[in-house]
Amino acid sequence: MAGNMIDFTDQNFESEVIGSDTPTMVDFWAEWCAPCKMIAPTVEALADEYEGKIRVGKLNIDENPSTPTKFGIRGIPTLIIFKGGQPVNQIVGVKSKAELKKAIESAI
């Protein structure tokens, strides 16, 4: 995983995402998901670009099934931006960097 990416799990989600004072973007993904692999470099680039303004990380849905269920994740990749412990923006599928930046800007 890239330097600024955080590895989220069912165990640390509450403290790392819900309890975070900084807006956090979570990439819900799986190893077998080709679209997830397509969007990964863009998500990693945004983690670098927005360092200090937003936290960015990934949650593997196969290894951590309870968190995606809790947030109603039906398709991947799904990116959810959390602010103040609440989901404020959700992006499903592969989107352009410009579309993702727009979602991040509206959250911060």
Q: Judge contact between 73 and 17, C-beta under 8 A.
A: no
**DSSP codes joined into one string, 15-61:** IIIIT-SS-EEEEEE-TT-HHHHHHHHHHHHHHHHTTTT-EEEEEET
The torsion angles phi and psi of 80, rounded to 5 degrees, stand at: -120, 130
Is 25 one of the catalytic residues? no
CA–CA dist 76, 94 (Å, integer):
9
- From the candidates 6, 17, 36, 81, give the one annotated as an active-site residue: 36
- From the candidates 33, 39, 56, 104, give the one annotated as an active-site residue: 33
Is 33 one of the catalytic residues? yes
Catalytic residues: 33, 36
